Amino acid sequence: MFESLKIVKMAHAMAEHAGARQGLVAQNIANADTPGYKARDLADFGQSYAETGGLRATRPGHVGGGASTTAQVVQSSLSEDPNGNTVSLDQEMVRAVEIRQEHDMALSIYRATSDILRASLGNKG
């Protein structure tokens, strides 16, 4: 029952999105000195959540009938170094902080929903 609530599904999707973005930030940082590497990021959570209708498929034919399972990866529009690399370590650190806040928000939503359900059932622990 608890897993079928739309707000819980949304919090789960937000946490997954934060994890995927964190992975891209890690790749960007790891390739900061790679010639020609283009920094990548995911589209905003709200946009990607709206595009998927709040549902995520894990494989073609599951849930949405072949809908894309990941948010669109976008390339950063930062200026290029002379070697063609667009990674800015400062910008990646700022993104990492934003991602952490997004993940913390997802956990807070999940925790608050859990507390409300427990209180409504008479369980205070």
In the chain, where are the structural domains located? 2-120
In angstroms, rounded to a whole number, what is the distance separating the alpha carbons of residues 50 and 53? 5
pLDDT band at 3; cut points 50, 70, 90:
low
pLDDT band at 55; cut points 50, 70, 90:
low
In angstroms, rounded to a whole number, what is the distance separating the alpha carbons of residues 77 and 86? 8
Q: How far is C-alpha 6 from the chain's CA centre?
A: 17
Name 56's Cβ contacts closer than 8 Å, sequence gap at least 6. 13, 16, 63, 69
pLDDT score recorded for residue 103: 95
pLDDT score recorded for residue 48: 74
pLDDT score recorded for residue 93: 95
Long-range contacts of 96-100 (CB under 8 A, 24+ apart): 96/22, 96/25, 99/18, 99/21, 99/22, 99/25, 100/18
pLDDT score recorded for residue 63: 46
Greater model confidence, 77 or 101: 101
In angstroms, rounded to a whole number, what is the distance separating the alpha carbons of residues 44 and 12? 15
Residues β-bridged to residue 75? 40
Where b means 16+ CB within 10 Å and e means fewer, 103-118 reads beebeebbeebeeeee
Report the range out of 9-23, 43-57, 72-86, 110-124 with the highest average pLDDT: 9-23
pLDDT band at 49; cut points 50, 70, 90:
confident
